[in-house]
Structure 1
């Protein structure tokens, strides 16, 4: 029996285009002997559009934006698929708000549909960098110094906000929207003028921003895969040719080097692995995360963040880490579907009545 796999992609998010690239890559890697592929495109204004079952890879993401497709309500996911009993698995290939942040996951939980990846809590906490860092602090996970603001508090006294950053964090620092990934809206600041411009930039993308201490460090990443018993990939290192790994370096210039496996000794890798798994469990993650670290020259490790739906093309760090660990891209997708089914089955055993 083939698995009827529904792919959700696009989304009402600044990372809409990233999601389309992810969907194109996943479709190209799926084994059509094992999966029937049912695409649903979510437009930038939030419309859900159902496409016809796909019979093979697509050459351009424009083929995945169904201008003539059937508009559906999200709860139509529970309806039968061409006379069958419905979808076997939902795979949200959504990055950023309205997809990676627990919103879609909550809907899927209400509909009692099996899905790939992290649940509501892990997705929402992982998307909000402030909440994530607060939970990591509670779990004793090492991090760089940080502070945060909501737009209204900044607008009521901008000077006080800038002074707080300078006194608590200092320069250099990084200003980020709290609820975006893919390095959208992030600025490095070394002066008051840059800090003011960075606040303006970040608040375009979110009502909450986070400011983090800048450290001179290597950027090391591990993939984490599993549910209750997660495992880690080999380590990888990002070496940007710019000051930091911004959106353009990731998706436009290719202006960065990915070193896999990274040059880390056994003792350092063991420490990274321990913190990655502790972080995974602190957010109650499931399926997958990419754990991102700073490692200083004197061996200090700081957890930067976990990404609950990391970049997922064959050339993204998470799939490459697992490829070098021994799990190729098609097998990684199949493994994630298995993990989603495993978690859904476990949830069906929970009692909801006395």
Structure 2
């Protein structure tokens, strides 16, 4: 019997379209002899849909027509502890269950998908899922928290100043002074919990800094400011595995058109040295960025980055596949962990293929990892049978003893 895999994608984030591309790529690459794939699309209106029409990228160009053809559903626990897709609205007559799923495969980038929210939903459903758990997802998504964890593990990260929007509204001038005193210029301003370079800006003076902060706060309530390395190389490395065993991919150097890697650089670039191609078959999405694979690094530097990638992955408690982005300061040779993407664009398959791990094999490894975690968690105790309510009844409905004393 095939394992029924529900691939969740879309979502209510600025990375919605990237998620669709990544998910359709994965669905078309999965081993049909082992898995029965069920597409589950979350619209920007936060409604769930399923149906074969969701498997073609071209159909998303006419989204209203696509959703009219797709089946709107609710994801819920069914009978016998199964997880089902139920028609929405539930019909009075006829079939109400569209599909059942055994394991979830979230490919939802950014807010409400990569930040632990969707993972928490799966936990409540009792549904095993691919990738990072709630804590590691949330930690990886928040750049400030990620830095704090990595710094505690003596992993190299840049210093930062971070603040909430309410802090800025009350004391903007004081924050500008603090940033200038700590870093000087230039600096880089980032939303704390967004990816794909959305809301990121640079500043070389106070006026530009103020504008960049205002821009970042349009996308997040919490931001951070870091010193900007003037001469640096940006490289990425993917890691697959879990807390027990993890392996690093080949390394890529990502080329950019401006001071920072932009959204356009990531998703609308000209392709790798080998060119672009069909976004479903491997020429679109994150792998469409202008890049050099493998990165032109010394053997010693390559080993250093790969080791740091695995250490970062495991320090944050990650599972499945992630991509860790690094900055190499060329004047000093110092390597810094920049960020982690716990559900990377295109699942970073293009970094595994050069090492001989085909996309189909990578996807199989990810699903099997989800089932491994399920087996491990089944050994744990999550609830304890007790007679607490009977005891409370004997002591009185307010929880105290019969003479009114409280416990």
**Paired residue for 1:12?**
12
Distance 1:61 1:265, change over 3 A: farther
Shift of 1:61: 4.8
How many residues matched? 348
**Paired residue for 1:197?**
211
The SS at the match of 1:276 is: helix
**Paired residue for 1:231?**
247
**Paired residue for 1:309?**
343
Shift of 1:14: 1.1
Is 1:165 aligned with 2:179? yes
**Paired residue for 1:73?**
74
Shift of 1:150: 0.2
**Paired residue for 2:91?**
none
**Paired residue for 1:210?**
224
Distance 1:285 1:79, change over 3 A: closer
Distance 1:275 1:157, change over 3 A: same
Shift of 1:111: 1.4
Shift of 1:45: 2.3
Shift of 1:123: 0.3
Shift of 1:169: 2.1
TM-score calculated relative to the size of structure 1: 0.92
Shift of 1:269: 2.0
Check the 8 A contact 1:31/1:330 in 2, yes or no.
yes
After TM superposition, list the pairs within 5 Å mapping 1:242-281 onto structure 2: 242-254=258-270, 257-281=290-314
Is 1:323 aligned with 2:353? yes
The SS at the match of 2:290 is: strand
Unaligned runs of 5+ in 1: none
Check the 8 A contact 2:326/2:335 in 1, yes or no.
yes
**Paired residue for 2:27?**
27
The SS at the match of 1:110 is: helix
**Paired residue for 1:333?**
363
Shift of 1:264: 1.8
Check the 8 A contact 2:102/2:128 in 1, yes or no.
yes
The SS at the match of 2:305 is: helix
TM-score calculated relative to the size of structure 2: 0.80
**Structure 1 moving runs of 4+ over 4 Å:** 80-85
Distance 1:56 1:332, change over 3 A: farther
Check the 8 A contact 2:131/2:321 in 1, yes or no.
yes
**Paired residue for 1:137?**
151
The one-character-per-residue Cα deviations of 1:154-204 (angstroms, maximum 9, x if unpaired) are: 000111111111111221111111110111111121122211111111101
Q: Distance in 2 between matches of 1:175 and 1:290?
A: 21
Q: Distance in 1 between matches of 2:321 and 2:108?
A: 14
Distance 1:152 1:84, change over 3 A: closer
Shift of 1:270: 2.2
Q: Distance in 1 between matches of 2:145 and 2:84?
A: 38
Unaligned runs of 5+ in 2: 86-94, 272-288, 385-407
Shift of 1:30: 2.2
The SS at the match of 1:240 is: coil
The one-character-per-residue Cα deviations of 1:11-46 (angstroms, maximum 9, x if unpaired) are: 111111111111221122223333222111111121
Pairwise CA RMSD of aligned residues? 2.2
Q: Distance in 2 between matches of 1:212 and 1:166?
A: 11
The one-character-per-residue Cα deviations of 1:258-307 (angstroms, maximum 9, x if unpaired) are: 11111222222222122212211211111111111111223211111111
Distance 1:59 1:19, change over 3 A: closer
The one-character-per-residue Cα deviations of 1:63-112 (angstroms, maximum 9, x if unpaired) are: 88533444333435844468799312111110001111000101111211
Q: Larger radius of gyration, structure 1 or 2?
A: 2
Q: Distance in 2 between matches of 1:141 and 1:79?
A: 40
Is 1:40 aligned with 2:74? no
Q: Distance in 2 between matches of 1:340 and 1:61?
A: 30
The SS at the match of 2:301 is: helix
**Paired residue for 1:105?**
119
Check the 8 A contact 1:174/1:214 in 2, yes or no.
yes
Q: Distance in 2 between matches of 1:23 and 1:100?
A: 14
Q: Distance in 2 between matches of 1:150 and 1:261?
A: 39
Shift of 1:253: 4.2
